[in-house]
Amino acid sequence: MNVQELRQINLANPFRPYTIRTSDGQAVHIPHPDYLFIAPGGDTLVAYDQDGLLHIIDTDHVSKLEMRQKGRAAK
């Protein structure tokens, strides 16, 4: 996963909620594009989860993104 792919997913129309998984096992759900900011240099993500908690993530530690399938309800 590179930063350009992440930008495309976050700006997709229609937007699909996704979860960022990091190398240390952290999971941050992104329910709306406004919940994520990608630093101009692409090295840092600033994300808010649904509880309003702030997460600062080094993009080198993003291990995968989990996308919800269309029509599936959130667990």
In a domain, 75, yes or no: no
In a domain, 74, yes or no: no
| Number of domains within the chain | 1
In a domain, 52, yes or no: yes
pTM for the predicted model, two decimal places: 0.84
CATH number at residue 35: 2.30.30.100
In a domain, 22, yes or no: yes
Please, what is the average pLDDT of the chain?
A: 90
Per-residue HEC secondary structure of 7-53 comes to: HHHHCCCCCCCEEEEECCCCEEEECCHHHEEECCCCCEEEEECCCCC
Domain range enclosing 17: 3-67
Residues 36-50: pLDDT tens digits? 999 999 999 999 988
